Structure 1
Amino acid sequence: MTAPTKARRPKTKAPYLAQLDPRELVAHPSNLRRALGDLTEMRASIAAYGVWQALTVVPEDGGHRIVAGHRRAAAAAEALEAGEWPEGMAQTVPCLVRPDMVGLSPEQVVAMLVENDQRANLTESERAAGYAQLELFGLDVAEIARRTGRKKEHVQSALKLTKLGTAATAAADEGRLTLEDVAELAEFEDDPETMEKILKDVSSGWGIKHKVSDERRKRKVKEAVAAITAELEAAGVTIVKKPKGWPYDCAMARVDQLQTADGQDIDPEAVKALAGYGAIIEERYDSAGAFIVCLDPESHGYKRTGHSYYKSPAEIAAKEAAAKAQQELRARLKQSAAVRRKFLVEKYGSAKGAKTLLVEAMRFAVVWPDFLQHSLARELIKELCGGDLTEGVTAGQDRLNRLLVARLISAQEENTERVADGRWSAHKDLIVLWLNRLEEDGYELSKAEATMRAQLIAEEEERKHAEAEEEEEEARYLAELEAEVAHDDGDAPAVVDVHLPEHDVEPGDSEPDPCAEADLDTGESEASE
């Protein structure tokens, strides 16, 4: 066996090569890779051929500290301990000794970042932790980016990731959150509960975008409620909660829906701070509002002017709730459509991406050409193919393919948005297929989109059920009709030939009408007389 090569002590700080025992090498305290991973394959390779690529080490405290090559050192040490070292080969590993890096902790961290990124990628949180260490050494974002060969935006997002908590770093390491998505989460840095809610049960950045959009809306509503509450309390108005059965089955009523006994309207501003009155704050989809109420209108002698229905108050409330839910769903669908549009451009807005929909687009052009005549979103088409449909006049085959796919996507989106907005469409049945196709291609439906799809499926099932019942009813009617005809045929008396006496007159042999040939034109008769 060959003994380890002693590290020479040159007068200069120039790097040099040395053969060192891997078991005597010391791991770097700032090692970015927290887990070395499975070393089985690397250990087997070392057992067969040894270590071919030099580790990078720094001479410190009478030994050598690893900067790059922790996995190689660990695998080599395991092979030695197990007696698996190549026969006749020195029990050492080649090392590039860097005296010039002694005491330069930032440079050592930079080296680990660069070296690891050139091999098996660091996790997002490991890389972010490395940038954070460099920041502690006094390096700003621009300098970190320069030294690591990264863009400043990348470094900034990574540094933000270190401040977002364990839920965000775990999601980043699992591939559910990219550094590009971190900017979306930064505004919730001070709200770990919301952060965890956003990251829960999402599988991609699209799901995060949907949830961020929804939490942003909720925060906006919460801020609006706080502002209205402060304004009302400053004016001496009592804030009251909506009573059970509001607004159709309770004593409380809105002041603007009341009149005095003599039919005079009541000014809400004049009574809002008086005893027996208050304000209800109502949360809306992305805002909030308030209205003044009278706690007991009848005790003031007021009469109600609100709408009156023959249905029960509970039925009316249910109808209003359904309408409000549908209105909110439409607003959510508009919000989701903006996210979905980004996906469409990213997924199909290239020649390669368009090919995935080309056959489907050609099928529509042949079988359902009328569907492609929908009002077209020209901006969406431009984002998808970088041009206008009029280019098809002179375009070649490849360009025509992209234009056709862009036209199909635009028609599908117009059809989907028409139905989402409550408008009629002759092609409502295509929406479920369209959303399913996008889901297959990697898009994650928002809750609103999933709700719309479920509603469309339920409507189609209800339609089919109604058709089936109608067909059954028609079949029963035809069966009953056939039974009646069969019954009548069986009970009908036989037809008997009756011979009339000769003196009887057949209807066709009656005496001629004496007036048959008379001129029936009264005017002419009078003139002749």
Structure 2
Amino acid sequence: MEITQIPPGQLQAHPHNAHRELRNIDQLAESVTYSGIIEPLVVLPADEDQQHTIIAGHRRQAAAVQVELETVPCIVLPTTDADQYVTMLAENLHRDELTASEEAATYEQLRLLNWEPERIAKATGRKTRRVSDALTLHRLPAEIQKATDEGQLDLATAAELASFTHDPKALARVMKKGQGHWGFQHAIADERARQETKDATERLRAQLILDDIRVTPKPTNTDGKAAYLHMLLDSDGNEATIETAKHLPGVAAYIETIGSQPQARYYCVDPRAAGLQPRTRTQTINETDANHIDQENPQAQAEAHREAWERATAVRQDFLTGRYGTAKGAKTLFRTALRTLVTASLPLPTTYGGLADFATRIAGSPLEELPESVGMDRLTRATAARWLAEQEANLYNVAQDGWGDTETALAYLTHCTTNGYELSHIETQLHDELTTDTTSDDTYEADDQSERAPELATA
């Protein structure tokens, strides 16, 4: 292509240049002082004011102006609007890394020209998923874009936050709780569960109203009369049901959440006034319901703990799959896993649901289908999968009922964090508890030895 020398003053920035600010110009100007402009700029033909619009080379033009070069080498390239954006983006991507929001803004310009993510990806050498995530980022609030530009969020994680833009409070909770890629994955999983519970509660409330059932907050029952409907009989001695009693005075429902599942609890404020009678001695709501207005329901608490642990497990296993789910990744765990398998009897756990699928994800195929002639790469992955499944089963047992090996569980959590995993809140609680227990055991052993030391010394 023909190179034309053009004065820097006759070059103007493209209105859609991806860089919102030109960075490191002083450093580039110093290089230009000694070496000049080595690579030509790419510009459009001159307009009626004899100004050429820069397609690629905004920083070089700024450096040339700073060191007062008379002319700079340029390639005059007539192109379509879309081609301009692609040329400019490719230039910026490979020469001076764009911030995520700058990259997203340029993809958005192409999208407005009816370019699909697949076409943009092909033209720029980016993966389609990255282009799609960047386009999503462009639609997110400014604070999310800023956090992504500053490295607090990776692009893929930022794109996941799009599902919370309708609820600023939810978005704020995720941003407050998240830290690091996997920390944000925990926060996102927790918030999604929260949103699902909220949505399910609203659906249940709407259905109750459609069924002509009065919905109230949970009664405080200060007069001691309110009782659950299933504990009452109608005037004929039949069990009172919501279908037969919903139009009686004082009959209503409140919504209680057990774990993440909302449930309707039917009750009557004053059974005798409604013509209902107790089965035997009817206990009141406060007497029968552990979830009093000022108490935690043990069942709800236990269910919430179980669900929180399962969410954390799903994120952790995604992390482990990404880290060890290839032959190369599994090799880093092979020595540890093989040593454990050789020195201990570890049948593949079957009591904890989902571990077989998890092991298959790591190994690449079910462990029981490994042929005798299996290659080393596949065997390496299978060994890592077996070890991880055992660790996950033990960790689950320790977290749920304390019957597992606590030292092994602590070592496993430490292994995960050492390799880049961020613990969720519930995992951190367990880690701290196990660390405290281990420290207490060490202190006890030390005290026990010190008490016996004089006897040993005089023996």
Pair in the same fold by TM > 0.5: yes
The residue that corresponds to 2:200 in the other structure is 224
Q: Is the contact between residue 128 and residue 161 of structure 1 (CA under 8 Å) also seen in structure 2?
A: yes
Residue among 23, 43, 59 paired with 1:71 = 59
Alpha-carbon distance in structure 1 between the residues aligned to 2:445 and 2:219: 45
User: Does structure 1 residue 444 correspond to structure 2 residue 418?
Assistant: no
User: Does structure 1 residue 128 correspond to structure 2 residue 104?
Assistant: yes
Q: Is the contact between residue 33 and residue 67 of structure 2 (CA under 8 Å) also seen in structure 1?
A: yes
The residue that corresponds to 2:256 in the other structure is 282
User: Does structure 1 residue 240 correspond to structure 2 residue 216?
Assistant: yes
The residue that corresponds to 2:394 in the other structure is 415
The residue that corresponds to 2:243 in the other structure is 269
Q: Is the contact between residue 260 and residue 304 of structure 2 (CA under 8 Å) also seen in structure 1?
A: no
- Structure 2: 5+ residue runs without aligned partners? none
Q: Is the contact between residue 177 and residue 184 of structure 2 (CA under 8 Å) also seen in structure 1?
A: no
Alpha-carbon distance in structure 1 between the residues aligned to 2:442 and 2:153: 42
Q: Is the contact between residue 224 and residue 284 of structure 2 (CA under 8 Å) also seen in structure 1?
A: no
Q: Give the superposition deviation at 1:366.
A: 5.5
After superposing the two structures, state which structure 1 stretch, 296-305 or 58-67, moved more. Answer: 296-305
Alpha-carbon distance in structure 2 between the residues aligned to 1:460 and 1:260: 58
Helix, strand or coil: the match of 2:12? coil
TM-score under structure 1 length normalisation: 0.72
What's the CA shift string for 1:402-439, capped at 9, x where partnerless? 443332212111211233343722x1221122112111
Question: Within 5 A, what are the aligned runs for 1:94-243?
Answer: 94-98=73-77, 100-101=78-79, 104-181=80-157, 184-243=160-219
Pick closer, same or farther for the CA change 1:110–1:196 going to 2, 3 Å.
farther
The residue that corresponds to 1:518 in the other structure is none
Q: Give the superposition deviation at 1:450.
A: 2.2
- Structure 1: 5+ residue runs without aligned partners? 1-14, 81-89, 480-529
The residue that corresponds to 1:9 in the other structure is none
Q: Give the superposition deviation at 1:115.
A: 1.2
Pick closer, same or farther for the CA change 1:373–1:152 going to 2, 3 Å.
closer
Pick closer, same or farther for the CA change 1:128–1:24 going to 2, 3 Å.
same
Pick closer, same or farther for the CA change 1:460–1:229 going to 2, 3 Å.
same
Alpha-carbon distance in structure 1 between the residues aligned to 2:407 and 2:246: 51
Aligned partner letter, 2:398: V
Q: Give the superposition deviation at 1:155.
A: 3.2
What's the CA shift string for 1:70-107, capped at 9, x where partnerless? 11222222233xxxxxxxxx633221122x23xx3322
Q: Is the contact between residue 257 and residue 305 of structure 1 (CA under 8 Å) also seen in structure 2?
A: yes
Alpha-carbon distance in structure 1 between the residues aligned to 2:42 and 2:424: 49
Alpha-carbon distance in structure 2 between the residues aligned to 1:250 and 1:121: 69
The residue that corresponds to 2:303 in the other structure is 327
The residue that corresponds to 1:52 in the other structure is 38
The residue that corresponds to 1:383 in the other structure is 361
What's the CA shift string for 1:430-486, capped at 9, x where partnerless? 112211211121112222322333344455567778x679969xx79xx9xxxxxxx
Aligned partner letter, 1:38: N
Residue among 385, 390, 409 paired with 1:406 = 385
Q: Give the superposition deviation at 1:193.
A: 3.7
The residue that corresponds to 1:21 in the other structure is 7
The residue that corresponds to 1:521 in the other structure is none
What's the CA shift string for 1:234-279, capped at 9, x where partnerless? 3443322124489xx9543312234689986433432233222221
Q: Is the contact between residue 281 and residue 288 of structure 1 (CA under 8 Å) also seen in structure 2?
A: yes
Pick closer, same or farther for the CA change 1:421–1:245 going to 2, 3 Å.
farther
Pick closer, same or farther for the CA change 1:307–1:232 going to 2, 3 Å.
closer
Q: Is the contact between residue 392 and residue 403 of structure 1 (CA under 8 Å) also seen in structure 2?
A: no
Pick closer, same or farther for the CA change 1:49–1:390 going to 2, 3 Å.
same
The residue that corresponds to 1:86 in the other structure is none
Q: Is the contact between residue 25 and residue 65 of structure 1 (CA under 8 Å) also seen in structure 2?
A: yes
Aligned partner letter, 1:454: D
Pick closer, same or farther for the CA change 1:106–1:391 going to 2, 3 Å.
closer
Alpha-carbon distance in structure 2 between the residues aligned to 1:308 and 1:213: 34
Helix, strand or coil: the match of 2:21? coil
Aligned partner letter, 1:19: Q
Alpha-carbon distance in structure 2 between the residues aligned to 1:464 and 1:261: 67
Alpha-carbon distance in structure 2 between the residues aligned to 1:452 and 1:62: 70
Aligned partner letter, 1:25: L
Q: Is the contact between residue 235 and residue 273 of structure 1 (CA under 8 Å) also seen in structure 2?
A: no
Alpha-carbon distance in structure 2 between the residues aligned to 1:133 and 1:315: 55
After superposing the two structures, state which structure 1 stretch, 260-269 or 21-30, moved more. Answer: 260-269
Pick closer, same or farther for the CA change 1:390–1:292 going to 2, 3 Å.
closer
Residue among 306, 314, 320 paired with 1:338 = 314
TM-score under structure 2 length normalisation: 0.82
Tell me: higher relative CO, structure 1 or 2? Use CA pairs within 8 A at least 6 residues apart: 2
Q: Give the superposition deviation at 1:398.
A: 5.8
Q: Is the contact between residue 239 and residue 280 of structure 1 (CA under 8 Å) also seen in structure 2?
A: yes
Residue among 8, 13, 17 paired with 1:31 = 17
Helix, strand or coil: the match of 1:288? strand
Q: Is the contact between residue 43 and residue 78 of structure 1 (CA under 8 Å) also seen in structure 2?
A: yes
Aligned partner letter, 1:429: E
Q: Give the superposition deviation at 1:347.
A: 0.5
The residue that corresponds to 1:526 in the other structure is none
Aligned partner letter, 2:417: E
The residue that corresponds to 1:424 in the other structure is 403
Pick closer, same or farther for the CA change 1:105–1:352 going to 2, 3 Å.
same
Larger Rg belongs to: 1
Q: Is the contact between residue 176 and residue 203 of structure 1 (CA under 8 Å) also seen in structure 2?
A: yes
Alpha-carbon distance in structure 1 between the residues aligned to 2:131 and 2:97: 16
Q: Is the contact between residue 210 and residue 339 of structure 1 (CA under 8 Å) also seen in structure 2?
A: yes
Q: Is the contact between residue 375 and residue 411 of structure 1 (CA under 8 Å) also seen in structure 2?
A: yes
Pick closer, same or farther for the CA change 1:270–1:468 going to 2, 3 Å.
farther
Q: Give the superposition deviation at 1:308.
A: 12
Alpha-carbon distance in structure 1 between the residues aligned to 2:62 and 2:411: 53
Pick closer, same or farther for the CA change 1:442–1:154 going to 2, 3 Å.
same
Alpha-carbon distance in structure 1 between the residues aligned to 2:374 and 2:310: 34
Alpha-carbon distance in structure 1 between the residues aligned to 2:113 and 2:382: 53
Helix, strand or coil: the match of 1:338? helix
